[in-house]
């Protein structure tokens, strides 16, 4: 199946709340094998589009498909089970679990018997636990967090917490990874590390979409960028074309973003 066929698509997505239109007849195609950027001023509808993709919001119009298969009507857990995973704008780690345990939660869906079984004192339980631990260690190492595995979230600075959350999102080897402002709260060097890590994640079977206000990050790691404003699509193209687009320049000059 090629990258186009393994795409997450929205066709004619429309969403409104109490008469307020949030998404207007939006067409998007997020392809495997590349990083797609999703940008636009505050309130443009970027997070709402993610919420429609994950099933948290139910659009009033349009169709959402992954690899040609309709996701319409599937609840969020079923979409996550199909490998559609997202990170959130605000870090949401469990404060009572170590960094390693937080990340292990993200891999539990890959094991037939699941998270609870891994704690049972059986050979199978021990094997599953070891495999989950190994996968979580690898994801943390991938993001430069090997030293933090035994720390509690309260012991880490905000930038590292954000990276832990991304490790939890990638550990289950998702097919679709939706990242909502992954660089929020990171300092410059953490952001550079994150950019390198995200590029390393690109693979022919993975759809990656990044909502981000950090324009340097978006322009340097994305293969294609969708620009939204007031719930509608402004343009879509390669970073260099988007940067030159007059409508985009007008939108950004007239807003507080970057």
Ligand X SMILES: Nc1ncnc2c1ncn2[C@@H]1O[C@H](COP(=O)(O)OP(=O)(O)OP(=O)(O)O)[C@@H](O)[C@H]1O
Residues in contact with ligand X by CB under 6 A are 17, 22, 40, 42-48
Minimum separation from the CB atom of position 72 to ligand X (A): 19
Where do we find the tokens 């919420």?
51
Minimum separation from the CB atom of position 59 to ligand X (A): 12
Minimum separation from the CB atom of position 163 to ligand X (A): 20
CA proximity to 174, closest of 141, 137, 138, 207: 207
Minimum separation from the CB atom of position 46 to ligand X (A): 4
Which residue, 15 or 176, has its beta carbon nearer to ligand X? 15
Which residue, 128 or 181, has its beta carbon nearer to ligand X? 181
Dist CA 239 CA 149 (whole Å): 36
Q: Is 165 left (phi over 0), alpha (psi -120 to 50) or beta?
A: alpha
- Positive or negative: CA dihedral 105, 111, 116, 121: negative
Which residue, 109 or 162, has its beta carbon nearer to ligand X? 162
Q: Residue 208 CB: number of other CB atoms within 10 A?
A: 26
């Amino acid at each position: 199946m090629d990258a186009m066929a393994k795409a997450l698509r929205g066709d004619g997505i429309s969403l409104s709340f109490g008469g307020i239109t949030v998404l207007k007849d939006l067409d998007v195609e997020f392809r495997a094998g590349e990083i797609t950027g999703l940008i636009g001023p505050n309130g443009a509808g970027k997070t709402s589009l993610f919420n429609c993709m994950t099933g948290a919001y139910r659009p009033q119009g349009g169709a959402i498909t992954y690899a040609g298969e309709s996701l319409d009507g599937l609840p969020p857990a079923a979409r996550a089970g199909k490998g559609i995973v997202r990170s959130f704008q605000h870090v949401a780690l469990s404060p009572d679990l170590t960094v390693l345990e937080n990340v292990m939660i993200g891999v539990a869906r890959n094991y037939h018997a699941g998270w609870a079984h891994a704690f049972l004192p059986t050979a199978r339980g021990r094997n599953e636990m070891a495999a989950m631990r190994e996968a979580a260690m690898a994801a943390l190492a991938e993001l430069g967090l090997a030293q933090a595995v035994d720390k509690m979230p309260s012991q880490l600075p905000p930038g590292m917490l954000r990276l832990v959350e991304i490790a939890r999102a990638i550990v289950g080897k998702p097919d679709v990874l939706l990242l909502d402002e992954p660089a929020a709260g990171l300092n410059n060097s953490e952001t550079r590390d994150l950019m390198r890590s995200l590029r390393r994640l690109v693979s022919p079977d993975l759809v990656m979409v990044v909502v981000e206000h950090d324009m340097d990050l978006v322009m340097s790691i994305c293969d294609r960028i969708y620009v939204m404003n007031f719930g509608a699509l402004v343009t879509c193209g390669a970073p260099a074309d988007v940067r030159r687009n007059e409508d985009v320049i007008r939108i950004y000059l007239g807003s507080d973003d970057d």
